[in-house]
Chain A
Amino acid sequence: MSDVLLAVDGLTTAFDTRAGRLTAVQGVSFEIRRGETLGLVGESGSGKSVTAFSLIRLVQPPGRVTAGRVLFQGRDLASLSEDEMREVRGAGIGFVFQEPMAALNPVMRVGDHIAEALRVHGLGTRAEARARAIDLLRAVRIADAERRVDDYPHQLSGGMRQRVMIAIALACRPPLVIADEPTTALDVTVQAQILELLREMKREFGISLLLITHDLGVVAETADRVAIMYAGRIVEQGPVRDIFRRPAHPYTRGLLASIPGGVAGSRLHAIEGAVPNLASLPPGCSFAPRCLERMPVCAAAFPEVTLLGPERSVRCHLHAGPGSRFPDPDEVPA
């Protein structure tokens, strides 16, 4: 089998609202290899969650995948029946949500959540499921797992709930886990523990991870490759080290430069302007109204994907065609 676990090509998802059609995700393409973590980074509303839900066919109406292809383990997910798709969710792709409280049933004990995940896929009897639930709670480093397995969600702290979500996502040993802002609602100390846990799970179970976040620090610590989203499109992607050292897209450069850390008390580098509204995107490049390097061509056409190397790509007219202006490491941040 090929090294590529998930291949997404041209994924496009739109919402037909009274205000007209909102294209939340447009022509998104990426791959995740076995054992690899891809960080998907973007601001709120940039389309990260819609991308994740589109992958596992859980976009709710009026949302609809209007174009593109998702190959998981070589199978085209669009061609599967609803039953086959349910099998993929859980056994093939585990899911960890931003708000664990909303994803857990308040009247179900922790152990029953895990047992249900196992039983849906016909894995074991009730007693076996309970034993396996305790094992999983131990695996996600919940102290006193034998007792915690009988707790209700509200009896757990935010960090523990997120550990339970990870245990559920891992219950059927899926090769891929999608984690949608798994630490955004948590304290920085708890966040560090959960990220460490995800790294350990990756090592122990050999899973691949799609890690969705708006925090570049989280990406730097956890991901192998990163894709930067802006207004529904991936504008740059490549290996984390390389992108952090030599960001090519003006938006990526702005984001990296705006992280506080320079001379204390100095002004921060800010990206002026606001994130565009999807209902009124500017013509051409969506970042153009905020871009300091904007050229006349930028307002005319959305830039196509330019390959900057075997692993790196960018959508920006600065890099289109020959004579791409690829910045030197010394020149960064802009």
Chain B
Amino acid sequence: MPPLVEVRHLVKHFPRGGGLFRPKSVVRAVDDVSFDIEEGETFALVGESGSGKSTTGRCMLRLVEPTSGQVRFRGEDVLSFPGARLRAARREMQMVFQDPYSSLNPRMRAGAIVEEPLVIHRIGATRERRERVAELFRLVGLDPAHLDRYPHEFSGGQRQRIGLARALALSPSFIIADEPVSALDVSIQAQVINLLMDLQQQLRLTYLFVAHDLRLVRHISSRVAVMYLGRIVEMGATAQIFEDAHHPYTQALLSAVPVTDPDAPRARIELEPSSVDREAPLREIAAGHWVAT
């Protein structure tokens, strides 16, 4: 069986506005990125701010149009889909955003927010949609009695649940979760992560998980890709990345994670940017473990 998602040579350049005396240039936000995601797995993208993680995810759903490359979903090229086919494909691929405060329309009631994708895709009669929304509320641990409340009447964790219910409305098989818990309180993060893991089991979901918190990534992902300046510099099974990191950037990133054991020795590895060869291709150094060298 082919992988659920195949990304090949994905490139996204943003124009950088040239000034009077400055020539126009481009930001190479995503610069030749390739990876596969198998059905049912959690594939994580990690890397420093601005390394191109979110842009990669947005290109995959065509929320921004990639400059070049391919994204295949169940073997079909998403980037060549015409409008109608793309809308159909979007039912299968959904996104959950980082900020539960700004990603929900403040003037819509929670029930309407969750129902909206069903309305857009003309699914079900009014009564059926109502039932589906109540079911989705229960699925993500919200009380259907609160359907008529506005987003500001919910806590951050509850708002993230609303965003999740909305993403699940069309029964997708693939979800891109872009930092889904980093805006939440520490004591609430674990609730939402547990929910994501339960839903994955229950609904056989496949996740692309974008995250800063490497402790969390280690806990929930099956495979990890490390991005640096728009490129994947290392990719492999979670244990390969965390226990046998080869790329100097991966090593620096892992060494920066604060450890919660006051007695643990601290051994920071600093990255010498000049030591990274930006053009180095990925090579497979062990089964499934790729490093740019």
Contacts and interface: CB of A to CB of B under 8 A. Distances in A.
A1 interface: no
B262 interface: yes
Interface stretch (B131-139, B172-180, B188-196): B188-196
B197 interface: yes
Contact of A192 (B186, B188, B212, B268): B268
A268 B194 contact: yes
Interface in A100-125: none
Interface stretch (A49-57, A128-136, A213-221): A213-221
Interface of A: 43-44, 158, 187-193, 195-196, 214-218, 220-221, 240-241, 244, 251, 254-256, 258-262, 264-272, 274-275, 290
A247 B258 CA distance: 19
A214 B213 CA distance: 14
Given A192-B268, A255-B186, A270-B190, 15 more contacts: A43-B185, A188-B212, A188-B214, A189-B253, A192-B258, A195-B258, A220-B264, A221-B258, A254-B187, A258-B190, A260-B193, A264-B218, A267-B194, A274-B155, A275-B188
Nearest to A268: B190
B258 A258 contact: no
Contacts of B268: 192, 196
Interface string B247-270: 000001101111111111010101
B52 interface: no
B22 interface: no
A281 to B, nearest CB: 15
B260 A275 contact: no
A254 B185 CA distance: 13
A259 B189 CA distance: 9
A258 to B, nearest CB: 4
B260 A261 contact: yes
B68 interface: no
Contacts of B256: 188-189, 191-192
A215 B197 contact: no
A260 to B, nearest CB: 4
Contacts of A192: 255-256, 258, 268
Contacts of A256: 260
B219 interface: yes
B290 to A, nearest CB: 21
Q: Which of B158, B188, B259 has the most chain A CB within a 10 Å cutoff? A: B188
B47 to A, nearest CB: 9
A187 B238 CA distance: 21
B259 A220 contact: yes
Contacts of B261: 220, 244
A188 B190 contact: no
Q: Which 7 A-B pairs have the closest CB atoms?
A: A217-B258, A260-B219, A192-B256, A270-B190, A268-B190, A43-B185, A271-B187
Contacts of A271: 187-188, 190-191
Interface of B: 48-49, 155, 157-158, 185-191, 193-194, 197-198, 212-216, 218-220, 238, 252-253, 255-264, 266, 268, 270-271
Contacts of A220: 258-262, 264
A265 B271 contact: no
Contacts of B271: 189
Contacts of B193: 260, 268
Contact of B238 (A215, A264, A272): A264
A196 B158 CA distance: 36
Nearest to B46: A188
B53 to A, nearest CB: 12
A180 B262 CA distance: 21
Nearest to B264: A220
Nearest to B270: A193
A264 B222 CA distance: 9
10 contacts: A43-B187, A187-B212, A188-B48, A192-B258, A244-B260, A259-B260, A260-B220, A265-B197, A271-B190, A275-B187
B257 A217 contact: yes
A264 B193 CA distance: 13
A244 B261 CA distance: 8
Nearest to A259: B260
B194 A261 contact: no
A9 B186 CA distance: 28
B258 A215 contact: yes
Contacts of B155: 274-275
Given A188-B212, A188-B256, A261 B262 contact: no
